[in-house]
Structure 1
Amino acid sequence: MTNPAPWQKVRNAIESAWPVSGYRDLGVVVGCSGGADSVALLRSLVESVRHPAAPSPPRGFIVVAHFNHQFRGRESHADAEFVRQLAEQLAVPLETKCGQGVEQDEESARNDRREFFRTVMRRHGARYLTLGHSRDDNVETVLYRLMRGTGPAGMAGIASFRPFSDDPSGSDFVIARPMLDLGRDQIREALRSINAPWRDDASNRSNAYRRNWIRNELLPTMQSQFPQAVPAIARAIQGQRQWLDALQPVIDRWLVAVQIREKPLTLRRLDRIGGEAETDPTATPLRDQAVAIEALRRCWQRSGWPLRDMGQFHWTRVFEMLSGRGPDALTLPGAIEIRRDSWAVTLVRRDG
């Protein structure tokens, strides 16, 4: 049977971003809240894996994972029941977990979900965690970062594919977000075209969370003057993502030249590195601030240090210390302490 055009367009976009050949023989965990985006993602992946024209049966599997924060009482439990019924309808296994039901900030709630997803992936031996973030989510994320003083990398938005984490326990897992080119309204229209229901989270209408304020207040105001604001910002994000991807080999070379050891993280002072780095135009630009800051971000990720409160101001301070300017000691968000001696800069996170 031919799919309705709106649904087929969504299916084609997901297939283009993440061809089924890349996961049909591997394990995939689908994070599903019951909302439209994650429901569309789950339905699309199941259809792709079970497509009757496939040359052979899939050797992989799909598992649905639903974390019930219990923030909204009966509504939260109704979401969980909806996902249970959806998993049963699609004949895919379901993993669920309940939180404590205590209101949390956005980051704490996100960390709870991540740990749950990590546990599910380990239990099933999955390779991928796939999430239904849309183009609108990406734009909202960049606006949120922009107002917190992000740098160029923050303007690159959400990566389509990235390691679950940089520490050894999560480096073999990959997060896939194949819906970043799809708009929120487009996804809902597609689901309506196949009479597929979803759950609406009433808390998304509350501006208690800053991201909701961006969605409910800021973006509509921008669109009242610039109706194509979301796709326009999305195009800018794509350009930034291309810039960041092109920068990765340069960051690799910067770390080889500058990093002395990982534990404790010790970096050579840039003002003490001379020779070829100063005279060869093809050498890695060690003293380029943009390159250095992106290399420092990677060091933070590898060390498992919190990035959320590190704004461009803080990265600039670290770069200045590496360059021999500013104070010889500094404490950054996340209890990261930096000390500079005559040849190197050492960074340590103080617990407690």
Structure 2
Amino acid sequence: MVRAALLGLEVVMPAPDLIHVLRAADAEHGLFRAGDTVVVGVSGGPDSVALLAALRGYAPLKGIGLHVGHLDHMLRPASTEDAAWVAQLAADWGVPATLGARHVRQLAADTGRGLEDAARVARYAFLASVARRVGAAAVAVAHTADDQAETVLMNVVRGTGLAGLRGMTAVAPYPLGAAAVRAIEDLPAAGGEALPRLVRPFLGTPRTAVHGWLAARGVTPREDDSNADPAFLRNRLRHQVLPLLEDINPQIAETLVRNAAAVAGDLDYIERAVDGAWATGVEAAASRVRFARGAWTALHPAVQRRLLRRAAEHLSEGVRDFGWEAVEAARQAASVPGAAVSLPGNLRLASGDDGFVVAVGRPALPALRLSATPVPLRLPGETRLPGGWVVTATARPARPTDVVPPRDAWIAWLDADAVGPHPAVRAREPGDKLQPLGLGGRHKSLQDLFVDARIPQPLRDGWPVVVAGGQIVWVPGLRLDERARVRPDTKRILELGVAPPAGFVAR
């Protein structure tokens, strides 16, 4: 039986027939195709056992084959008994089964993942391997509407975008790529990089309905006591947070699921725009994705964000932590020619005049647009340079402590009288030399200064150089010239601050 609230009254309704639920979900979402083999993930718990039972009834109607997959996570003493129970159930019901075991705690330690995440990855890698071996086109898992509500709430707690607010979908690409599967399981070469689709037939069905239907058939599933372990975030949300929210809104789970469905429609619309932008304004290769600037600037920020996430997923399989901060840092750097920023998943974005590149590792950094023609500095005031650099200048009386240079390499205190009234900024010129502070007046080429500081070659031609009276007085971010330094007898200070382009990374 299923309890539901209607007009403030509690109404008790019979549990729906899950075979009918499967039929309806299949009709709406296209879960299965006649002739498919489907791997059913069965833990032994009530949700997955109910899924297997319902699929046994639906399979002859649809013309699909079934294969059970069960992974022992080796986290509980009773897990070997769970595996034996699932094997016996599959045999009793006439469904072939593949059982496996994985030391998930060791996997978590080896990969730096949390235990919950490591268990999820191990489970999906195992099911993908089973699917490849038996030629299955789909893997079915037993997530219910309650799981959807918990997932959405968990995403909100962690911080999320539209995809997180949407939660899970009834049909989805496989959550791991082939390389991620191979890192854990043996994946037969036949089939290449293709993996099965993931289907969730019960995603719109309450957990109570699933359990009620199974109980009515006299099946007693296994109980996993780790589902009550508060060490796992999902369990804390399920047993502690959601009950509190139900005091405010008794239908909180239904509300979260309904909101997820609403967001799914909006996200689908955005994804269509992303598909079009990807096809017309993006050049995607195995290790790099290039975006054309003209097409990029015309896009709505929501589409830009989704494109960046798609690029990350394209380049770095299973990338984690590509959240709001990473996306916004990427968007900011993309808008400034010459900027570069490191991103999660060993990715890096480098921006140029005509567009920007997201690539694995360190892509070639584009040169800035600053030329060798000196740009006079406003004294006092702010001077904006091509490529996004900003120079701020102020003049003030000297203080005794000014002989100690500022620690920030992008701020300099210069002797205003030594510099003179007309400082300017330009790019480097062939043969540029300076007398770097600390070298006792010895000269050094600007080229050697860049090499010693490991400044990437593409950045050197556009690097700002402060000049006065025909000589270099400061290379922002690197070194002050000896002749412009503050001395004990300095009367006036010229304080310069240089702000690099947003997202700029020099090394």
Q: TM-score, normalised by structure 2?
A: 0.60
Q: Quick check: 2:39–2:131 contact (8 Å CA) kept in 1?
A: yes
| 1:109-258 map, 5 Å | 109-164=119-174, 169-258=192-281
1:238-264 per-residue CA deviation (whole Å, 9 max, x = no partner) reads 011111222222111111232123233
* C-alpha separation in 1, matches of 2:54 and 2:34: 13
The DSSP-based 3-state class of the residue aligned with 1:72 is coil
Q: Quick check: 1:142–1:154 contact (8 Å CA) kept in 2?
A: yes
Percent sequence identity over aligned pairs: 27
* C-alpha separation in 1, matches of 2:315 and 2:98: 30
* C-alpha separation in 2, matches of 1:259 and 1:312: 22
Aligned residue for 1:15?
Answer: 23
Aligned residue for 2:87?
Answer: 84
* C-alpha separation in 1, matches of 2:39 and 2:33: 11
Q: Which amino acid aligns with 1:333?
A: P
Aligned residue for 2:40?
Answer: 30
2:68 to 64, 67, 83: 64
2:101 to 98, 102, 119: 98
* C-alpha separation in 1, matches of 2:256 and 2:79: 33
Q: Quick check: 1:163–1:170 contact (8 Å CA) kept in 2?
A: no
1:125-184 per-residue CA deviation (whole Å, 9 max, x = no partner) reads 110101101111111111111122211121111011122256684545211111111111
* C-alpha separation in 2, matches of 1:101 and 1:174: 24
Higher strand share: 2
Q: Quick check: 1:7–1:191 contact (8 Å CA) kept in 2?
A: no
Aligned residue for 2:287?
Answer: 264
Q: Quick check: 2:132–2:195 contact (8 Å CA) kept in 1?
A: no
Q: Say whether 1:335 aligns with 2:356.
A: no
* C-alpha separation in 2, matches of 1:210 and 1:149: 14
1:9-42 per-residue CA deviation (whole Å, 9 max, x = no partner) reads 3322222112499334211000111111111111
The DSSP-based 3-state class of the residue aligned with 1:16 is helix
Most deviating of 227-236 and 162-171? 162-171
Aligned residue for 1:281?
Answer: none
Q: Which amino acid aligns with 1:180?
A: L
Most deviating of 81-90 and 98-107? 98-107
* C-alpha separation in 2, matches of 1:171 and 1:237: 28
Q: Quick check: 1:7–1:193 contact (8 Å CA) kept in 2?
A: no
Most deviating of 243-252 and 37-46? 243-252
Check 1:163–1:171 CA distance in 2 against 1; reply closer, same or farther (3 A cut).
farther
Q: Which amino acid aligns with 1:36?
A: P
Aligned residue for 2:320?
Answer: 308
Q: Which amino acid aligns with 1:204?
A: N
* C-alpha separation in 2, matches of 1:214 and 1:170: 36
The DSSP-based 3-state class of the residue aligned with 1:207 is coil
Most deviating of 12-21 and 63-72? 12-21
Check 1:181–1:128 CA distance in 2 against 1; reply closer, same or farther (3 A cut).
same
* C-alpha separation in 1, matches of 2:192 and 2:122: 16
* C-alpha separation in 2, matches of 1:228 and 1:15: 26
Check 1:28–1:230 CA distance in 2 against 1; reply closer, same or farther (3 A cut).
same
Q: Which amino acid aligns with 1:273?
A: G
Per-residue deviation, 1:64:
0.1
Most deviating of 162-171 and 32-41? 162-171
Q: Quick check: 2:68–2:97 contact (8 Å CA) kept in 1?
A: yes
Aligned residue for 1:40?
Answer: 50
* C-alpha separation in 1, matches of 2:138 and 2:318: 23
Aligned residue for 1:273?
Answer: 294
1:36-67 per-residue CA deviation (whole Å, 9 max, x = no partner) reads 1111111111111235xx8xxx3x42100000
Q: TM-score, normalised by structure 1?
A: 0.86
* C-alpha separation in 2, matches of 1:80 and 1:155: 34
Most deviating of 13-22 and 119-128? 13-22
The DSSP-based 3-state class of the residue aligned with 1:191 is helix
Check 1:42–1:6 CA distance in 2 against 1; reply closer, same or farther (3 A cut).
farther
Per-residue deviation, 1:334:
2.5
* C-alpha separation in 1, matches of 2:91 and 2:307: 45
Per-residue deviation, 1:8:
4.4
Per-residue deviation, 1:6:
4.5
Q: Quick check: 2:43–2:70 contact (8 Å CA) kept in 1?
A: yes
| 1:281-300 map, 5 Å | 286-300=298-312
* C-alpha separation in 2, matches of 1:304 and 1:333: 9
Give the aligned length.
328
Q: Which amino acid aligns with 2:24?
A: S
Aligned residue for 2:332?
Answer: 320
CA RMSD of aligned residues (A): 2.4
Larger radius of gyration: 2
Check 1:117–1:170 CA distance in 2 against 1; reply closer, same or farther (3 A cut).
farther
Q: Quick check: 2:316–2:347 contact (8 Å CA) kept in 1?
A: no
